[in-house]
Amino acid sequence: MTSTDLDSRFDALRSLSVSAGKMTLAHFQKRGLEVEKKEDQSPVTIADREAETWLRQEIRGQFSEDAVLGEEFGETPGSNDFRWILDPIDGTKSFISGVPLYGTMVGLEFRGEAVMGGVYLPGLDEGIYAAQGQGCWHFQGEAPPVRATTSSCESLEDAIFVTSEVKTFDRRQGREAYFEMQDACFITRTWGDCYGYLLVATGRADVMIDPIMSIWDAAALKPILEEAGGTFTDWFGVPTIEAGEGIGTNGPLLNAITQITQRYPKP
């Protein structure tokens, strides 16, 4: 892998997440939006499918040998060591409710390691992107990107804890983990999905937890959190995007958090 390989993909990743995200605004807060249920009963709309279709076309046009994995259309094999991982709308429940806390996520793996990530929240015109060794960058509107850094909070009693949906903890028999975190932390809010991790990466929250997540929910987040000075791990503190769960932290709080979460393994 050359620096040119990385630079060209990093440039593309930043623009892809923003452009695909802006496409979803054509359907956001529109009356009569049709919502379907997938096999796992999660919602999907034309906006999800249109955004992922466009992303796949752009990636195929620019990097035809790269593999692509997306939430809506599965995996297209490649012939090299790169794999793009796409979530066209992370937070579809927020999207269909007209709430702007949803985002478009684009991640990139090299030889199985998550090396780049971009997240854009079109309803807020705010985003974040990162690549290994190149830092994490936060932008709002047309203002120049600024370096994103996690907080320096060292105590759970001073921490802001965010998550996506409390009842998701029940699906892994982990509701008590939620209540332990709520009791231990200063503030608990459900500013969730990818927005919660953006808050951690920019120092506005200290820990974000998902009891259940897919690889396309996680791929963009690990490089973003790590380049911002934080961590993205499973519930045992292992850095991975493949565990089906996730914890994003500012770094200093990881051990205190996993002392709680590791007592609630998935059944």
**What CATH number is given to the structural domain containing 216?**
3.40.190.80
* One domain for residues 27 and 88: yes
Q: How many structural domains compose the chain?
A: 2
* One domain for residues 74 and 197: no
**Residue 10 located in a structural domain:** yes
**Residue 94 located in a structural domain:** yes
Q: Which of 105, 122, 147 is the last residue of a domain?
A: 147
* One domain for residues 223 and 165: yes
What local confidence, expressed as pLDDT, does residue 215 receive? 98
**Residue 222 located in a structural domain:** yes
Tell which residue, 126, 99, 116, 106, has the closest CA to residue 51.
106
Backbone angles phi, psi at 106, to 5 degrees: -130, 120
Show pLDDT as tens, one digit a residue, over the chain (267 residues). Answer: 567 788 999 999 999 999 999 999 999 999 889 999 888 888 999 999 999 999 999 999 999 999 999 999 999 999 999 999 999 999 999 999 999 999 999 999 999 999 999 999 999 999 999 999 999 999 999 999 999 999 999 999 999 999 999 999 999 999 999 999 999 999 999 999 999 999 999 999 999 999 999 999 999 999 999 999 999 999 999 999 999 999 999 999 999 999 999 999 988
* One domain for residues 185 and 235: yes
Q: How far is 253 from 152, CA to CA, in rounded Å?
A: 9
* One domain for residues 82 and 176: no
Domain range for 183: 156-261
Q: Which of 120, 147, 174 is the last residue of a domain?
A: 147
* One domain for residues 54 and 134: yes
**Residue 21 located in a structural domain:** yes
* One domain for residues 72 and 128: yes
Question: What are the Cα distances from residue 118, in Å, to 128, 150, 264?
Answer: 6, 17, 30
Cβ-Cβ contacts under 8 Å for 209 (sequence gap 6 or more) = 161, 163, 177, 178, 181, 246, 247, 248, 257, 261
* One domain for residues 207 and 176: yes
Q: Give the single-character DSSP code of 130.
A: E
* One domain for residues 139 and 253: no
* One domain for residues 161 and 224: yes
* One domain for residues 136 and 21: yes
* One domain for residues 139 and 194: no
How far, in whole angstroms, is CA 47 from its chain's centroid? 18
**What CATH number is given to the structural domain containing 34?**
3.30.540.10
